[in-house]
């Protein structure tokens, strides 16, 4: 049964719910909500709506469900797998105006926010109280989008992903029913964990409008080291040994030589263009952190590091993090005339060295340009694969190389996506990764969204 279109009648209904000023069918607005940060083709919705409450979302979903009009929730549009692209048109619910911090409980280390709050702005607010929300995907993502994709980022290794900080949430189901899942207790063994069901569901089961998050105190001290190696294998082996040593770095990032070269050029840095690890520790005592860095230095020395610079100042540390976050923009800017496929896999830490080395050799064999970087401490590899724009043969080769890297990660006992989600690009790997449990996922989708209106075309082929 095909999806219905949004007619003038539905438009008038929506305007009656939210007001005419929060509904748009303008071409520029539709274009803006037709793509994310990925390479996937753009697809316009028929209308964009800015709700201000769960009740408004409820009325719109109830109508859309009855008419079988597709609905796609929208956060900040920073996704990298086509997650919010409205591939079937219909209604985009842009939650960016639901951007209020509703309640801060300093004593409980909790904050209640609407889904449109930008996590960077949230952390700026929380810093006044000595608190922060650790997941850090880099881009200016909204909390709702981070919940939808179970975003993580550079600090996952110490603090965990978004799912580890969600205490409860308000969800609007496709039927229009509004439910609250979870409690404010930091632990519970009461019933099914519905919060974890909706975290990472990419808007395919309902619309999350409000979230209560667990917070962490800002660290009193931090220390970091930049260390460089002759080969990626030496750097990746160092990652494994640091992790098995019992240390608890807050961040452990890898950039290969070509990536460092891009960062140097883009950010006017002067790092030697060799495989590089950036390790950061958080703690209460500078003395304790220095002891941890000494252990790291010993491990790096055993793996023939070329340079070990520790205890870097806050200004230089911030510049390096800025550079790490700018990797994607650097690669795009400096490689004008090329298109890019970003691979995001994760493997058990014992297989990380093998994963990185195999991926690079695979690109070399196919004579493709690529850049390897990622959250090494959590076994997460990102790889940008480039091809000349307009060269269809090279594009096909690049996409096949990407598929082979994902397949290798799965063969290692890993996952097709460490943090970017399934979206459009990873649907083909769901059966290989999940086996028969994929059928249960489809049954859950059918139970909660029998008319298939919620973000269709994502997760399941």
Say which CATH number the domain at 134 has. Answer: 3.30.465.10
- Asked if residue 224 lies in contact with residue 317, where contact means CB atoms within 8 angstroms, the answer is yes
CATH code for position 382: 3.30.70.2740
Q: Are residues 273 and 299 in the same domain?
A: yes
Could you tell me the residue range of the domain that residue 202 belongs to? 101-217
**For residue 390, what are its two tokens?**
């307009």
Position 317 scores a pLDDT of 72
Is residue 37 assigned to a domain? yes
pLDDT in tens, 139-186: 899 999 999 999 999 899 999 999 999 999 999 999 999 999 999 999
pLDDT in tens, 28-55: 999 999 999 998 999 999 999 999 999 9
Q: How many domains does the chain have?
A: 4
Q: Are residues 409 and 362 in the same domain?
A: yes
Residues in a beta bridge with 212: 112, 168
Is residue 275 assigned to a domain? yes
- How far apart (Å, rounded) are the C-alpha atoms in residues 84 and 94? 10
- Asked if residue 370 lies in contact with residue 383, where contact means CB atoms within 8 angstroms, the answer is yes
Position 410 scores a pLDDT of 98
Position 325 scores a pLDDT of 78
pLDDT band at 234 (very low <50, low <70, confident <90, very high): very high
Is residue 201 assigned to a domain? yes
Q: Are residues 349 and 311 in the same domain?
A: no
- How far apart (Å, rounded) are the C-alpha atoms in residues 152 and 163? 9
Residues in a beta bridge with 368: none
CATH code for position 53: 3.30.43.10
Q: Are residues 251 and 202 in the same domain?
A: no
Q: Are residues 213 and 266 in the same domain?
A: no
- Return the closest-CA partner of residue 82 out of 425, 397, 378: 425
Is residue 457 assigned to a domain? no
Q: Are residues 71 and 167 in the same domain?
A: no
Helices 232-244 and 286-302 cross at an angle (nearest 10°) of 130
Position 407 scores a pLDDT of 98
402 has a pLDDT exceeding 90: yes
C-alpha neighbours within 13 Å on the C-beta side of residue 48: 23
Among residues 183, 217, 251, the one where a domain terminates is 217
Residue 216 CB coordination number (10 Å): 17
Percent of the chain whose predicted confidence (pLDDT) is above 90: 85
Mean residue pLDDT across the chain: 94
Is residue 456 assigned to a domain? no
Is residue 163 assigned to a domain? yes
323 has a pLDDT exceeding 80: no
Q: Are residues 122 and 158 in the same domain?
A: yes
C-alpha neighbours within 13 Å on the C-beta side of residue 86: 26
269 has a pLDDT exceeding 90: no
Position 138 scores a pLDDT of 80
Is residue 420 assigned to a domain? yes
pTM: predicted TM-score of the whole model, two decimal places: 0.93
């Amino acid at each position: 049964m095909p999806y219905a279109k949004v007619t003038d009648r539905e438009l008038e209904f929506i305007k009656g719910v939210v007001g005419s000023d929060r509904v748009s069918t303008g071409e520029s607005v539709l274009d803006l909500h037709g793509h994310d940060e990925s390479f996937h083709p753009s697809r316009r919705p028929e209308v964009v709506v800015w709700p201000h409450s769960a009740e408004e979302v409820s009325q719109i979903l109830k109508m859309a469900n009855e008419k079988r009009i597709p609905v796609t929730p929208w956060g900040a549009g920073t996704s990298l797998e086509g997650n919010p692209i409205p591939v079937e048109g219909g209604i985009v619910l842009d939650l960016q105006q639901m951007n209020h911090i509703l309640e801060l409980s300093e004593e409980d280390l909790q904050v209640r926010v609407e889904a449109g709050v930008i996590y960077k702005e949230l952390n700026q607010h929380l810093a006044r109280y000595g608190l922060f929300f650790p997941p850090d995907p880099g881009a200016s993502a909204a909390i709702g989008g981070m919940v939808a994709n179970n975003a993580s980022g550079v600090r996952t290794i110490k603090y965990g992903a978004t799912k580890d900080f969600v205490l409860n949430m308000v969800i609007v189901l496709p039927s229009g029913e509004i439910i609250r899942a979870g409690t404010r207790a930091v632990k519970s063994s009461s019933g099914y964990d519905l919060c974890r069901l909706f975290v990472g569901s990419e808007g395919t089961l309902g619309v999350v409008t409000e979230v209560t998050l667990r917070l962490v105190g800002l660290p009193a001290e931090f220390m970091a080291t930049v260390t460089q190696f002759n080969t990626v294998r030496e750097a990746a082996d160092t990652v494994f040994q640091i992790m098995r040593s019992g240390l608890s770095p807050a961040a452990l990032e890898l950039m290969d030589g070509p990536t460092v070269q891009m960062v140097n050029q883009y950010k006017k840095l002067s790092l030697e263009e060799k495989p590089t690890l950036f390790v950061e520790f958080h703690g209460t005592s500078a003395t304790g952190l220095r002891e941890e860095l000494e252990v790291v230095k010993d491990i790096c020395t055993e793996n023939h590091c070329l340079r070990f610079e520790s205890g870097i100042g806050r200004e230089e540390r911030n510049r390096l993090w800025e550079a790490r976050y700018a990797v994607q923009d650097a690669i795009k800017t400096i490689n004008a005339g090329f298109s890019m496929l970003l691979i995001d896999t994760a493997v058990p830490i014992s297989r990380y060295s093998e994963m990185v080395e195999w991926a690079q050799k695979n690109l070399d064999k196919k004579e493709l340009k690529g850049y390897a970087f990622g959250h090494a401490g959590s076994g997460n590899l990102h790889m940008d694969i480039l091809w000349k724009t307009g060269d269809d043969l090279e594009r096909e080769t690049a996409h096949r190389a990407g598929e082979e890297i994902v397949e290798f990660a799965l063969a290692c006992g890993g996952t097709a996506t460490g943090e970017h989600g399934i979206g459009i690009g990873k649907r083909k790997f769901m059966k290989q990764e999940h086996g028969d449990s994929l059928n249960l996922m489809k049954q859950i989708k059918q139970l909660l969204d029998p008319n298939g209106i919620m973000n269709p075309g994502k997760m399941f082929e």
